[in-house]
Amino acid sequence: MNQVLKHLFLLLMFAVLTAHQAGASDTARKEIPLSGKVLETMDGGGYTYLLLQNGPERVWVAIPLSKITVGQQLTLTPGFAMKNFSSKALNRKFDQVIFSAGPSDAKKMQLSPSAIKALHQGVPGAPGGQQEQATKEKATAQAAKPAPKSQKVTKAKGANAYTIAEVFAKSKKLEKKQVVIKGRVVNVAERIMKKNWIHLEDGTGSKAKKTDNLVVTSKELPKVGDVVTITGTLYNNLDFGSGYRYKVLIQDATLKK
């Protein structure tokens, strides 16, 4: 059975049910092996698109946002094809895109066709499997806990250090640059696209303007309530579809307590 692809959005439960309905029609589709040389690459909407020399064919493959270079030899987790796929972020329509969970030498996350379809069409969730009940219970338990109150956190030190308010105010100048931020963890969504999604607050910014809560992705897993200093790369305007977008997102961060 396929593992559950958990999502950070609060509408997780609704999305899981939605993806279940979508999955009924594509269970017969077969996985497509993916291995070969990268001929072209582009990023958009939080994903990396690759033109892959897959045996005798050239195919477009979409994977979670990754550092991939032209000429690189890759073996990816087998994926599922979608025809006539439109990427709003790239403003481009593909005759066919094969969706994969990423390189096979990383820890694999097995996805069903409906899970991949849900992910890339902006549905914040995926169909369940052997972990579905545990995920539902965890989501329910987390929803029942009140988020910790925002408290002022001392700004990190150093040339690349910013408060959360400063990050939002200077985000355009900081695009694809390394930033250091100290804040309190107010929410964590685990193991989505091989990363943990961490919400930070430091007592700065405006709740009304939505500049008081910063989302950070990391392989490290802090606890809600921890005060951490993160170092990561800032990206602007990542769009995951269906109205779910990040004005600012800090990617691949390291954490210090």
Distance CA(215)–CA(193), nearest Å, equals 15
Cα-Cα-Cα-Cα torsion 80, 96, 68, 199, nearest 10 degrees, comes to -70
Higher model confidence: residue 15 or residue 162?
162
- What is the pLDDT at residue 185? 93
- What is the pLDDT at residue 176? 93
Q: Please give the residue range of the domain that contains residue 29.
A: 12-135
Higher model confidence: residue 170 or residue 143?
170
Tell whether 130 and 154 lie within a shared domain.
no
Tell whether 131 and 150 lie within a shared domain.
no
Determine the average pLDDT of the residues in 157-175. 95
What does pTM read for this prediction?
A: 0.48
Encode pLDDT of 100-158 as tens digits: 888 876 444 445 555 555 554 443 333 333 333 334 334 433 443 444 555 789 999 99
Say how many domains are in the chain. Answer: 2
**Is 5 part of any domain?**
no
What mean pLDDT is reported for the chain?
74
Q: What is the CATH number of the domain that holds 68?
A: 2.40.50
- What is the pLDDT at residue 255? 95
Tell whether 68 and 162 lie within a shared domain.
no
Tell whether 130 and 46 lie within a shared domain.
yes
Tell whether 62 and 25 lie within a shared domain.
yes
Encode pLDDT of 16-46 as tens digits: 323 333 343 443 457 889 999 999 998 877 7
DSSP 148-208: PPP---PPPPSTTEE-HHHHHHTTTTTTT-EEEEEEEEEEEEEEETTEEEEEEE-S-S-TT
Q: Looking at 104, 135, 166, which one is the last position of a domain?
A: 135
Tell whether 158 and 223 lie within a shared domain.
yes
DSSP helix/strand/coil, 137 = helix
Q: What is the CATH number of the domain that holds 230?
A: 2.40.50.140
Residue 13 is given by DSSP the state H
Encode pLDDT of 58-86 as tens digits: 999 988 888 888 999 999 988 888 888 88
Tell whether 105 and 152 lie within a shared domain.
no
Is-contact 42 63, C-beta < 8 A?
no
